[in-house]
Amino acid sequence: MRDTAFVATTKARTPPKPRARDTRRAREVERTRQDILEAAARVFAARGYHASTMQVIAREAGFTAASLYTYFPGKESIYAALVEAFGARILAVFEEPVPACLTFAQQLELLLQRQLQLVAEHADALRLMFDLGPPQVDGRVDQSPRHYLARSARFLEEASRGALRVDAAEAALLLHGLGHAHVLGWLVGGDALDPARMAARITDLFLHGAARR
């Protein structure tokens, strides 16, 4: 009798599984948010951030301005979501599989090439981020750079297997600086980005420096 009561109590306390309708609704909301972000990126690129309005973004996304506010309270939050989404994509590259036979230099070059491919695909959004800098929403500063540097340091420590002359955190800063400088130079220059070539160049500078040996 006691066991039956315990089972009944346990079942009563088990949280209900999400209903299929709720799951579909969550997917629809996420797809809509992504459509809005893509539309906002196009508007920001064409008009500039300050000249863009929620009304224009709504029209580009196929919404009324009133319905747009259901998903985002303002263009500041849209910009913050754009930065967060791009940062998440860049971070996700660290988790992509890498052939076990690659050397440290080859692993690093492959990682950079994959990340630079994303940069090339989101050039307009990236130009906006370089112009405006990290977003601040509700007084909170975007933490994407800190997360990226921490993940980069872990990758360098694991992939190098003790081959670094500095600690992994400092190496991550150096690598980030090289990548940032090259991407900024590409954005200013306006030439087509070659991810493979730039990745090889950054890898060479990171491992061997700029001076002749």
Question: pLDDT tens across 38-92, in order?
Answer: 899 889 888 888 899 999 999 999 988 888 999 999 988 999 888 888 889 999 9
Looking up tokens 């006691």, which residue turns up? 2
Report which of 58, 197, 199, 82 is spatially closest to residue 142, judged by C-alpha positions.
Answer: 82
pTM assigned to the model = 0.78
Beta strands in the chain (DSSP E): 136-137, 140-141
d(CA 153, CA 173): 8
Q: Where along the chain do its domains lie?
A: 1-72, 75-213
| CB half-sphere exposure, 93, CA atoms < 13 A | 20
Q: What is the CA radius of gyration of the chain?
A: 23
d(CA 164, CA 198): 22
Top CATH class, 75-213? mainly alpha
Phi–psi pair at 142, nearest 5 degrees = -60, 135
d(CA 144, CA 142): 6
* 85 touches 125 (CB < 8 A): no
**pLDDT one-digit tens code per residue, 135-189:** 765 555 566 788 899 999 999 999 999 999 999 999 999 999 999 999 999 988 8
Fold of 1-72: Arc Repressor Mutant, subunit A (1.10.10)
pLDDT band per the 50, 70, 90 thresholds, residue 16: low
d(CA 89, CA 112): 13
